[in-house]
Amino acid sequence: MPDLSRRFNIEKIPPAAKQAAFATVAAWITSRRQFPAMLAWDEWINNRDRGIQNLLIDGDDCAPADHQQAFDCHDEDYTDVNKLAQLVNATLAPAAQMQIKRGAVRATMTFSADWPRMVQDALTALPIKLGKPAALRQWLQSRHPEIAQRIENRISGGQTNLAL
């Protein structure tokens, strides 16, 4: 599965045409059925460096990969951002922003509070430093209740019912 930069050959585009190419790529990414859930997932795991190279393509679907700058394991120069939310704010009209925001908030409601326990159980079987799986579980559990509000704060387009 190639990443988006290879699918759209962005590196080979002359500088003058890159803005239009970026808009095309942004429109394609944000129109994917699973985009709101990916945005919500990145918010939950605090992934700060999602780029188009971190999205794998399979036909009309895309999936996130590479969580190097996530789980509060960031290089010092990474500010608190959600790059997928930035993409929405930079490229979509307010009505489309609102649609993505609603979808991302809905996606957070499908995230199970049991997932952190399942991650801990899976990691416990691996040769990882003792205590790390439990610490990751605790970290994920602490962020779980806040995801929807964090998304509400990240995306510009209007207010959802969450703010009422």
Query: Which of 136, 45, 32 is CA-nearest to residue 82?
Result: 45
Highest mean pLDDT out of 22-26, 85-89, 101-105, 113-117: 101-105
> Residue 107: is its pLDDT beyond 70?
yes
From CA 151, how far away is CA 118, in angstroms rounded?
24
What does pTM read for this prediction?
0.77
B/e letters for 110-132, b = 16+ CB within 10 Å, e = fewer, are ebeeeebeeebeeeeeeeeeeee
Q: Do residues 37 and 21 touch, judged by C-beta distance below 8 A? A: no
Where along the chain do its domains lie? 4-163
- Full DSSP string of 55-122: EEEETTEEEE---TT-TT---TT--S--HHHHHHHHHS-HHHHHHHHHHHHHHHTTS-TTHHHHHHHH
DSSP summary character for residue 53: G
From CA 150, how far away is CA 143, in angstroms rounded?
10
From CA 51, how far away is CA 128, in angstroms rounded?
28
Fold of the domain spanning 4-163 = 1.10.1070
pLDDT in tens, 116-125: 888 788 777 7
DSSP summary character for residue 160: -
Q: What's the whole-number mean pLDDT along residues 60-71?
A: 77
